[in-house]
A = this chain, B = another copy of it.
């Protein structure tokens, strides 16, 4: 399996990269992510578990009934890839010379 395929095993499922992008701004709580991304709670819980297993993020217990999700070193290492993808979408011309407006 190529390295890219391995990356996509973790980051390919819907919302995974968007969650990481959000966490690049700092630790977030479950409810914050759910509202900001407008994602179903079940899917969010699943993605967070997968990303934690993959070592991309970790749970930080805050206090009673409240925890935050923060990127690990490995999660922070995704900053470059996310920046590349964002720049690609931002800077690109649309199909065959059409211009974005």
Contact = CB atoms under 8 A, between A and B. Distances in A.
B11 A85 contact: yes
B85 A4 contact: yes
Interface residues of A, number: 44
Contacts of A81: 81, 84-85, 88, 94
A85 B55 contact: no
Given A79-B99, A80-B99, A100-B80, A7 B94 contact: no
A94 B95 CA distance: 31
B53 A77 contact: no
A12 B3 CA distance: 17
Given A79-B94, A85-B81, A94-B77, A8 B3 contact: no
Given A77-B91, A81-B81, 4 more contacts: A4-B21, A4-B82, A7-B89, A83-B99
24 contacts: A3-B86, A3-B87, A4-B18, A4-B86, A4-B89, A7-B86, A7-B88, A11-B85, A12-B12, A53-B95, A54-B95, A55-B93, A55-B95, A73-B93, A74-B92, A77-B88, A77-B93, A80-B98, A80-B100, A81-B81, A81-B84, A83-B100, A83-B101, A84-B100
